[in-house]
Structure 1
């Protein structure tokens, strides 16, 4: 992150809201991480169910090779 910061695009995907980062790490580190990630960021939020889960439940998921 540090080497790419302010030099090239970085894409990050998470199902955890940034407010929940302090559950993974100490609050001061979580605050610094979120601050760095969101500085100059374009945030896209999605909603709806999981396409992969829907396909798997319908029997259209990944099949094993034999």
Structure 2
């Protein structure tokens, strides 16, 4: 699995890839439903800017 964009700016690509593999190997998928609280706050102008 390749490292996420920009991850290799803080560590070498081989270490970034190995770290991501390790994290994803032990990850659990959590599926949620409902509205996003972060998006609601962003759209309300509460200190965060929504992505376009």
Normalised by the shorter chain, which TM-score bucket?
0.3 to 0.5
Pick 1 or 2: higher relative contact order, CA cutoff 8 A, min separation 6. 2
Q: Which has the larger radius of gyration?
A: 1
The structure carrying a bigger helix percent of its residues is 2
TM-score (norm. length: structure 2): 0.46
